[in-house]
Amino acid sequence: MITNWEKIRTDFPILKREINDQSLIYMDNAATTQKPRPVIDAICDFYENYNANVYRGVHTLSGEATTVYENSREKVADFIGAKEKEEVIFTKGTTNSLNYLAQMLSLEVKAGDEILLTYMEHHSNIIPWQQLAKRKKAKLIYVELTDEGKIDLSDYKNKLNKRTKIVSFTHVSNILGTINPVLEMTELAHEMNAIVIVDGAQAVPHFKVNVQELNVDFYAFSGHKMLGPTGIGVLYGKKKWLTSLEPAEFGGEMIELVKEQESTWANLPNKFEAGTPNISGAIGLAAAIDYLENIGMDNIKNYEEELFIYLYEKLININGLEIYGPDDLTAHSGVISFNLEGIHPHDLATALDLEGIAIRAGHHCGQLLMHKLNVVATSRISLYFYNTKEEVDQVIQTLEQTKEFFSA
């Protein structure tokens, strides 16, 4: 178990960078995280020493690549508590997982069925369902949020009914930082026989997630938000679903037998992985999981909680700063959105960038939520375990200076 947080920073080459002559302070981790040396090395090692296509050859290199690719799947399955490694489908990322799923579920959805989402979803957990609903003449329904920025559970219960076919919601909001009660929501949805899909993009990197304990039907996340490379992600699905659903992409390695007019599908998980997969991506993701597990997910969670409380208590003391999201910090991740009175979020983010500080400004792919909050954009700080209290102090000081500059 590693607890020397300062030393951990030396594993991330990019953290030595200077931006505008200042040491980089990277607090845009909800967009993507930085990569530690072991992840970078694992990817190089694949290309330097055993690069080959998987499943296709009897030659040694292909055998080695296949073994490591499949070991990566097993590592992911263990990491999220899947029952079997066949329940882990490698995708390009959360967006791709959700789009693929919406295609796979096409045959399950009939006219008049209802698909239940919430107002805190990322666009990638809205548009695929919107398109599916259009195709199938199904109805999209949104669950309201409380004033505090949590899912309104009484509205959720009211909107769940026997016509609800699919319920899809985020585990953690990428804007409000709200951690949603997945198990409770899943149990309620299952009482109506709805299929439960959870977007775990902002959860898996930050605390232990166990898909079996949560009892969700599907769970999607991205490698690049958890130290892994871009272009790799996961769609977890319960075996009963993955066995019965049809694939939505077709081609090499996903077939069993090809005839002129029809074909049969390979076993899981290959059935859902047409074409050459992102082999180096899966290997990089496995290295990221090793890295996270070496620190310990509980350690990461505790450290981030402490750092977040430190940040939050300083932010609430800045006059004219409005925070969006729960003030119940037990239901809060290390993501926080805010606006400083009289300063456009883009101006604020630009001012911080001049001091080497990377935060995000904009609608964060959550236009429906922006509308609900009655704003066009917010500034957003999102932490990870390589951030420090000293960095938080620096950010707070720069926010104060920026506020003074704009009010002068």
Q: Which helix (H) or strand (E) holds 236?
A: strand 233-237
DSSP labels, 38-107: HHHHHHHHIIIII---SSS-SSHHHHHHHHHHHHHHHHHHHHTT-S-GGGEEEESSHHHHHHHHHHHGGG
Query: Closer CB to ligand 7TS, residue 31 or residue 140?
Result: 31
Q: Choose which of 103, 118, 170, 379 interacts with ligand 7TS (CB under 6 A).
A: 170
Taking CB under 6 A as the rule, does residue 168 contact ligand 7TS? no
Rounded least distance, CB 335 to ligand 7TS, Å = 8
Q: How far is the CB of 115 from ligand 7TS (least distance, A)?
A: 17
Contact 234, 203 (CB under 8 A): no
| 173-202 residues near ligand 7TS, rule: CB under 6 A | 174, 199, 201-202
400/299 Cα distance (integer angstroms): 31
Nearer to ligand 7TS, 266 or 369 (CB): 369
At residue 138, what are phi and psi to the nearest 5 degrees?
A: -90, 170
Residue 379 sits in the site that holds ligand 7TS (CB under 6 A): no
Beta strands at 357-358 and 255-258: parallel, antiparallel or unpaired:
unpaired
CA-CA distance, 164 to 44, in Å (whole number)? Answer: 47
Whether residue 365 lies in the annotated active site: yes
User: Closest separation between CB of residue 224 and ligand 7TS, Å?
Assistant: 6
The smaller minimum CB distance to ligand 7TS, of residues 62 and 230, is found at 230
- End-to-end CA distance of the chain: give it in Å, rounded: 49
The least CB distance from residue 331 to ligand 7TS, in Å, is 16
Choose, by CB under 6 A, the member of 29, 72, 118, 124 that binds ligand 7TS.
124
**Distance, CA of 111 to CA of 73 (rounded, Å):** 36
Q: Is 117 one of the binding residues for ligand 7TS (CB under 6 A)? A: no
CB-count burial class (<10 Å; 0-12, 13-18, 19+) for 213: exposed
Write the CB contacts of 228 (distance below 8 Å, at least 6 apart in sequence): 35, 39, 281, 284, 285, 287, 288, 289
Q: What is the per-residue binding string for ligand 7TS in 300-339, x denoting contact by CB under 6 A?
A: ----------------------------------------
Q: Would you give the binding string for ligand 7TS spanning residues 79-98, x where CB under 6 A is met? A: --------------xxx---
Site membership for ligand 7TS, residue 222 (CB under 6 A): yes
Residue 31 interacting with ligand 7TS (CB under 6 A): yes
Of 269, 295, 294, the C-alpha closest to 282 is 269
Contact mark string toward ligand 7TS, 334..373, x via CB under 6 A: --------------------------x---xx--------
Q: Catalytic residue, from 203, 268, 274, 365: name it.
A: 365
Q: Which residue has the tokens 């899947």?
A: 82
| Active-site annotation, residues | 365
Q: What is the contact surface with ligand 7TS in residues (CB under 6 A)?
A: 30-31, 93-95, 122, 124-125, 170, 174, 199, 201-202, 222, 360, 364-365
